[in-house]
Amino acid sequence: MNFQRTIKKEIKIRGYGLHSGKESELTFLRAPENTGIVFIKNDEKIPALVDYVVDTHRGVTLGKENIKIMTVEHLLSAIYGLRVSNLFIFIKGEEIPILDGSSLPWVNIIKNADILNQDFPLKMYTLERSIFEREGKGLMILFPSSSFSITSVISFPNTILYWQKYIFKNLDNYEKEIAFARTFGFWYEIEELREKGLIKGASLESALLIGANGYENEPRIFNEPVRHKILDILGDFSLLGGYLKANVYSFSSGHTLHIKIIKKLLHEKVFKGEF
């Protein structure tokens, strides 16, 4: 049985947002059992739960009334991958820092704060039946299972990412298999995104750029993009508020689809039980 976890030490980090290009400061503090992951901005608490998702365009934004926190997925993925379930995160700024574009810096930051085991078991969800959802060309299917896995396939025709597939079988291997994978983008998107006021903080130090004939900067591994897709899926699925037992199959999915299927899971109540 896995138990809830938090951190022992307060830790601060500063960095620049991928889209806003502005600096933010985050302070991580220990939280008691059954608190969950809670962002605090301008004295307002914003739980990291799907009900607080206000935007899924080019990332996940959480919000409450007029307060928003952009691009939470990489940080939440690291928290989820380390099975840290209770945390207060104070933020000054608009957006979670992009750092190197992966979740590995967040893993190291959290580990340096010393992870503390708590007395309550993790909240677990087990599927009673299969469920699926579509969004655009994306498809996601969840099958009941006694464990958790993700099979992800991505395909971008007319690029080097015509087909990439990866199977992630064990959350214990998150740091080794997934955390290092950086966010990626395509050369043909850059101008449009900049015109929309996005990627102001992007650079070749914080993203993998895919050009017309190949990678513009060196990938950390040949299938880094599909591994980053799994990183995003884990970050988004953390917004369920617990750990899911299911075999997840993802085909060209994105943040909007991930949030849709989480909401569908909760709305249709397809769980056998939870604790």
In contact, 101 and 220? CB cutoff 8 Å? no
Of the candidates 174, 131, 127, the one whose C-alpha atom is nearest the C-alpha of residue 272 is: 127
Active site residues: 255
Looking at the fold, whether 269 and 142 belong to one and the same domain comes out as yes
Q: Which of 121, 138, 161 is the endpoint of a domain?
A: 121
- Give me the pLDDT at residue 273, please: 60
What total of structural domains would you count in the chain? 2
Same domain, 68 and 79: yes
Give pLDDT < 50 ranges for the chain. Answer: 275
Question: In this structure, are 54 and 16 located in the same domain?
Answer: yes
Same domain (yes/no): 38, 141:
no
Amino acid 275: pLDDT: 46
* Same domain? 168 vs 262: yes
Report the CATH number at residue 40.
3.30.230.20
pLDDT at 24: 97
Residues 137 and 106 in one domain: no
Q: Are residues 74 and 194 part of one domain?
A: no
Residues 171 and 190 in one domain: yes
The CATH number covering residue 129 comes to 3.30.1700.10
Same domain, 22 and 137: no
Residue 29 has a pLDDT of 98
149 and 130 in a single domain? The answer is: yes
Q: How high is the pLDDT of residue 206?
A: 87
- Give the pLDDT of residue 274: 54
**pLDDT for the residue 127:** 94
Q: Say what the pLDDT of residue 204 is.
A: 84
Distance (Å, whole) CA 256 – CA 275: 27
- Which of 106, 121, 136 delimits the end of a domain? 121
What's the pLDDT at 212?
84
Q: Are residues 18 and 131 in the same domain?
A: no
Q: Is 155 exposed, middle or buried (0-12, 13-18, 19+ CB in 10 A)?
A: middle
> Which pLDDT score is estimated for 194?
81
Query: What does the alpha-carbon distance between residue 40 and residue 21 come to, in Å, rounded to a whole number?
Result: 21
Domain range enclosing 49? 3-121
SS3 per-residue string spanning the chain: CCEEEEECCCEEEEEEECCCCCEEEEEEEECCCCCCEEEEECCEEEECCHHHEEECCCCCEEEECCEEEECCHHHHHHHHHCCCCCEEEEEECCECECCCCCCHHHHHHHHHCCEEEEEEECCEEEECCCEEEEECCEEEEEEECCCEEEEEEECCCCCCCCCEEEEECCHHHHHHHCCCCCCEEEHHHHHHHHHCCCCCCCCCCCCEEECCCCECCCCCCCCHHHHHHHHHHHHHHHHHCCEEEEEEEEECCCHHHHHHHHHHHHHHCCEEEEC
Separation CA 239–CA 85 (nearest Å): 11
pLDDT digit string, tens, across residues 217-233: 999 999 999 999 999 99
Of 68, 86, 121, the residue that ends a domain is 121
Instruction: Tell me, yes or no, whether 169 and 257 share the same domain.
Output: yes
